[in-house]
Amino acid sequence: MCGIVGILATEAAAPQVVESLKRLEYRGYDSAGVAALEDGGIARVRAEGKLKNLTQKLQSHALLGHTAIGHTRWATHGKPTEDNAHPHATDRVAIVHNGIIENFRELRLELEKEGVIFSSETDTEVALHLVDRELRKLKDPVKAVAAALPRLKGAFALGFIFSGFEDLMIGARQGAPLAVGYGEGEMYLGSDALALAPFTDTVTYLEEGDWAVLSRNDVIFYDRTNAVVKRTKQKSGAGAYSIDKGNHRHFMAKEIAEQPEVVGRTLAHYLDMGLGEVRLPTPMPFDWKSLDRITITACGTACFSGMIAKYWFERFARLAVDIDVASEFRYREAPLQKNGLAIFISQSGETADTLAGLRYAKEQGQHIVSVVNVPTSTIARESDVVIPTLAGPEIGVASTKAFTCQLTALACLAIAAGRARGVLSETQERRLVTDLIAVPALMVEALKGEHAIEQVAHDMAKATDVLYLGRGTNFPLALEGALKLKEISYIHAEGYAAGELKHGPIALIDESLPVIVLAPHDAIYEKTVSNMQEVAARGGRIILISDHAGLSEAGLKPHAMIEMPKQNPDFAAIVYSVPVQLLAYHAAVALGKDVDQPRNLAKSVTVE
Ligand code: M6R
């Protein structure tokens, strides 16, 4: 939820720390801070709000120390004030922290009884004072951290520097990701490899329970029993990705525009385009034919991609799908048949609820397949099979290209299941693959309508509520459309299965309510037309997204029509994602909202 970084540099480290924090800001942006070792002590600069506030402060309070840690925060314990901003520090030690220390209350009481005075409301400060207490006794930072870590419960990653120890930094991982990066006489610590990419692409990912002692020329890894362990160095590949907006005003706009390319890249990974077949790069450790049903679990947008995939698995492979949001799945004690298949979907691969759901499914003897965008993430590492989405880093908090790449990978998986189960013939597979191959070009066509969509969005931005309707795979897309609009424009929106309209939401309809109808010309198009009649009869403002302009035959005139290219409707949800995302984007821009960093949100939700 927060981003942490640490640098043992050969020059002033703070500018590098800030550079790295820019790449971590997607994880949280409530406050930011840097601590550096200066004149044998610890100097800190912290600021409320976004990183730019910290950068401004650093101009007048430059930190010159070569050893520094930094943090960008998504507040969990305590308001996003400067006092609660990390790094936290005593005279001896400074700390940055991502995650949650669950037993912080009892630890705080224990420390307060000993006379410790806390200066923030954060859970982090207990870890700081535990280490400080051990340091006073043991006078040795490594021993102090070794003694303090077992007292902490929860899911977290920590970074420490110590006053008077210029060539020392300690990092610890328990449930939240942490990587060590190797430079030329420099060493780095970061929440992800992307944060370290400006300096190095040689990294080691800490394993669960590991902690690492870094100097400028060496690193020693310990496991949770404090035994020295070997961990492999690897190339992160993160340097290949540019983290800038290019010519776009926002990351979200860039990421929407990139979709034809990244969806094409994902397709190329899973398809033999020449033969018109799905070719999964990794063999599955189970027989598709032996499965009666599968379980899909995810959060937010990733869950909606799973809901769309449910239609594909059921249609193409006659395989029943149970799908649930991870925060429910992890606690509802779902009975799962041994040797079943559980699929987890996550852009970040670090979402706490999804990870907990995965661990539950593992305990229940499931084969674990994860569809993730970050192949080095915890969810990927704990899965039997990883189905990577090749979207590249997604920086905008609102998920766009990761969503359509998830859909692309899941469509391929469902077709592979259909073939393996003997439900799809070779010819049917070829037809579906041909339709999938057409998707990137159709997305290009859909993107050409951006200007018209922008006009519709400007009008829609005046509304206080918006309703999204769809059927089949476009029902979950309606849910996704409503989520996208809510999270970046703060306009209240609801998504409904069009057939559910008359069971309640129809009561909302009046002249002021925009109703976005997602209606490709498919087998159930006429059913959706009936729902539009119901909306029109009550004066609702229909905004139709469709490849069929024949509404006048039904005596209907939508308030606006966003015309989509003609396509086979099986994969329309992937292409129709484009106008859905653009509507939300342009409504938010029209309202002057912070599109890439909407209030109260963070990209990666690593706490429950
Ligand atoms: O990283 P994940 O895909 O696991 O994240 C899941 C959700 O937190 C995420 O999709 C969230 O709903 C996005 N903000 C939606 O745009």
Pairing state of beta strands 271-272 and 277-278? antiparallel
Report pLDDT for 240: 65
The amino acid sitting at 476 is P
Give pLDDT, residue 1: 73
Average pLDDT over residues 541-556: 85
In this prediction, residues 131-146 reach a mean pLDDT of 97
Q: Of all atoms in ligand 1, which is nearest to the CA of residue 348?
A: 1
Same domain, yes or no: 253 and 289: yes
**3-class SS string, 331-347:** CCCCCCCCCCEEEEEEC
Beta strands in 271-428 (DSSP E): 271-272, 277-278, 293-298, 320-325, 341-346, 367-372, 385-388
Position with higher pLDDT, 377 vs 408 = 408
Instruction: Give residue 58's pLDDT.
Output: 96
- Within this chain, do residues 396 and 454 fall inside the same structural domain, yes or no? no
Ligand 1 atom having least distance to the Cα of 397: 14
Residue 531 Cβ < 6 Å to ligand 1: no
Kindly report the protein residue whose alpha carbon is nearest to atom 11 of ligand 1: 300
CB of residue 299 inside a 6 A radius of ligand 1: yes
Taking 90 as the threshold, does the pLDDT of residue 214 lie above it?
A: yes
605: Cβ below 6 Å to ligand 1? yes
Please check the confidence at residue 237 and state whether its pLDDT lies above 80: no
| Distance from residue 304's CA to the centre of ligand 1 (Å) | 10
The arithmetic mean of pLDDT across residues 144-169, rounded, is 96
Both 510 and 484 in one domain: the answer is yes
Only one residue has tokens 């598709």, namely 288
242 band by pLDDT with thresholds 50, 70 and 90: low
Q: How far, in Å, CA of 482 to CA of 584, rounded?
A: 8
Residue-level pLDDT at 77: 81
Task: Identify the domain boundary among 408, 437, 466.
Answer: 437
Confidence of residue 554 (pLDDT cuts 50, 70, 90): confident
Ligand 1 neighbour 30 (Cβ under 6 A): no
Same domain, 179 and 291: no
* Same-domain pairing of 127 and 269: no
Mutate to test the pocket of ligand 1, among 27, 299, 353, 480 (most ligand atoms within 8 A of CB): 299
Would you list the DSSP string of 364-405?
A: TT-EEEEEES-TTSHHHHT-SEEEE-------SSS-SHHHHH
Lowest mean pLDDT among 35-39, 54-58, 145-149, 507-511: 507-511
CB of 305 closer than 6 angstroms to any ligand 1 atom: no
Indicate which residue's Cα is closest to atom 9 of ligand 1: 300
| Ligand 1 binding pocket includes 351 (Cβ within 6 Å) | yes
Q: Is 405 in the pocket of ligand 1 (CB under 6 A)?
A: no
Specify the ligand 1 atom closest to the Cα of 347.
3
* Range 244-262 average pLDDT: 93
Alpha carbon 203 to chain centroid, angstroms: 21
Does 365 share its domain with 458? Answer: no
Classify residue 558: in a domain, yes or no: yes
Q: 74-106 pLDDT, tens per residue?
A: 888 888 899 999 999 999 999 999 988 999 999
Strand partners, 254: none
- Assigned domain for 302 exists: yes
Residue 265 has a pLDDT of: 93
397 and 354 assigned to the same domain = yes
Ligand 1 contacts CB of residue 252 (under 6 A): no
Two tokens, residue 508: 């909302």
From the CA atom positions of the chain, what is the Rg in Å?
Answer: 25
What's the gap in Å between 321 CA and the centre of ligand 1? 21
- Ligand 1 pocket member 280 (CB < 6 A): no
Predicted local confidence at residue 276, as pLDDT:
92
**Separation of CA 394 and ligand 1 centre (Å):** 11
Tallying the residues shown for the chain, one arrives at 608
Residue 606 lies in a domain: no
Indicate the top mutation candidate among 252, 301, 596 to test ligand 1's pocket, ranked by most ligand atoms within 8 A of CB: 301
- The catalytic residues are 2, 603
354 CB under 6 A from ligand 1? yes
Closest CA to ligand 1's atom 16: 398
Tell me which H or E stretch contains 486. helix 474-489
- Looking at residue 110, its pLDDT comes to 97
Ligand 1 pocket, residue 380 CB under 6 Å: no
Domain carrying residue 18: 3-240
Q: Residue 604 falls within a domain, yes or no?
A: no
Cα(370) to ligand 1 centroid in Å equals 15
How far away, in angstroms, is 302 Cα from ligand 1 center? 6
CATH of the domain at 486: 3.40.50.10490
196 and 283 in a single domain? The answer is: no
Q: How far is the CA of 122 from the centre of ligand 1 (A)?
A: 25
Residue 399 Cβ contacting ligand 1 at under 6 Å: yes
Indicate the burial class of 507 (C-beta count within 10 angstroms; 0-12, 13-18, 19 or more). Answer: exposed
CA angle in degrees (0–180, nearest 5) for 491-495-501: 120
On whether both 292 and 271 belong to a single domain, the answer is yes
32 & 107 share domain: yes
Determine, yes or no, domain membership for 254. Answer: yes
The predicted pLDDT at position 282 comes to 87
What's the pLDDT tens digit per position in 300-349?
999 999 999 999 999 999 999 999 999 999 889 899 989 999 999 999 99
User: How many angstroms is it from 306 CA to the middle of ligand 1?
Assistant: 12
Of 187, 217, 240, the last residue of a domain is 240
Q: Is residue 601 part of a domain?
A: no
Residue 608: predicted pLDDT: 73
The Å distance, Cα 56 to ligand 1 centre, comes to: 31
Is residue 379 in contact with ligand 1, taking CB distance under 6 Å?
Answer: no
**Cα 178 to averaged position of ligand 1 atoms, centre (Å):** 20
Query: What string of H, E and C letters represents the secondary structure of 538-551?
Result: CCCEEEEEECCCHH
Interval between CA 490 and ligand 1 midpoint (Å)? 17
* Ligand 1 neighbour 397 (Cβ under 6 A): yes
Residue nearest to atom 14 of ligand 1 (CA): 398
Q: Is residue 608 part of a domain?
A: no
Residue 236 lies in a domain: yes
**For residues 310 and 570, what is the distance between their CA atoms, to the nearest angstrom?**
13
Is 194 found in the same domain as 71?
yes
Phi and psi (nearest 5°) for 414? Answer: -65, -40
Whose Cα sits closest to atom 8 in ligand 1?
300
**Percent of the chain surpassing pLDDT 70:** 99
The total number of structural domains in the chain stands at 3
Cβ(351)–Cβ(341) below 8 Å? no
Give the residue whose CA is nearest to atom 7 of ligand 1: 300
Strand-pairing partners, residue 158, are 97, 172
Name the residue of 407, 605, 607 whose CB sits within 8 Å of the most ligand 1 atoms, as the mutation to test its pocket: 605
Mean pLDDT confidence for 512-523: 94
Q: State the closest ligand 1 atom to the C-alpha of 400, by its place in the atom list counted from 1.
A: 16
**Percentage of the chain lying above the pLDDT 90 cut:** 81
pLDDT at 74: 86
Mean pLDDT of 540-569: 88
Q: Which residues, including other chains, have CB under 8 Å from residue 184's CB and lie 6 or more apart?
A: none
Assign 601 a pLDDT band (cuts: 50, 70, 90). Answer: confident
pLDDT of residue 603: 79
What CATH number is associated with residue 122?
A: 3.60.20.10
How far is the centre of ligand 1, averaged over its atoms, from the C-alpha of 293 (Å)? 25
Ligand 1 contact, 580 CB (< 6 A): no
Task: Write down which residue in 405, 437, 469 finishes a domain.
Answer: 437
Ligand 1, atom nearest to 379 Cα? 4
| Same-domain check for residues 232 and 263 | no
Tokens linked to 27: 């994880």
Q: Where are any strands of DSSP class E within 498-605? A: 514-518, 541-546, 560-563
Ligand 1 atom closest to 299 (CA):
6
